[in-house]
Amino acid sequence: MQPWQFFVLAGLGCATAVTFLIRGQGVMAVLLVSLLMATTTLVGIAALRALRPLVSDHEDRSTVIGERTRAALEQEKANTLRTIKELEFDRAMAKMSEADFNEMSVRLRARAARLMKQLDAGTGYRPKIEADLLKRLGNAGESKASTHAERACPKCSTPNDTDARFCKNCGERLS
Ligand SMILES: [Zn+2]
**Residue 140 falls within a domain, yes or no?**
no
CA of 145 relative to ligand 1 center, distance in Å: 22
DSSP per-residue codes, 88-116 = HHHHHTT-S-HHHHHHHHHHHHHHHHHHH
Per-residue confidence (pLDDT) for residue 71, from 0 to 100: 80
CA of 83 relative to ligand 1 center, distance in Å: 78
pLDDT digits (tens, 9 = 90+) for 32-71: 878 888 888 888 888 877 777 666 555 555 555 566 677 8
Measured CA to CA, the distance from residue 68 to residue 54 in angstroms comes to: 19
CA of 86 relative to ligand 1 center, distance in Å: 80
CA of 142 relative to ligand 1 center, distance in Å: 26
Same domain, 71 and 37: no
Q: Are 148 and 161 in contact, with CB atoms under 8 Å apart?
A: yes
Per-residue confidence (pLDDT) for residue 62, from 0 to 100: 55
CA of 171 relative to ligand 1 center, distance in Å: 6
pLDDT digits (tens, 9 = 90+) for 1-18: 666 777 788 878 877 777
Its domain, for residue 49, covers: 3-53
Per-residue confidence (pLDDT) for residue 170, from 0 to 100: 94
Q: Are 84 and 108 in contact, with CB atoms under 8 Å apart?
A: yes
Same domain, 120 and 74: yes
Per-residue confidence (pLDDT) for residue 33, from 0 to 100: 78
**Residue 159 falls within a domain, yes or no?**
no
Q: What's the total number of domains in the chain?
A: 2
**Residue 103 falls within a domain, yes or no?**
yes
Per-residue confidence (pLDDT) for residue 5, from 0 to 100: 76
pLDDT digits (tens, 9 = 90+) for 71-88: 888 888 899 999 989 988
CA of 141 relative to ligand 1 center, distance in Å: 28
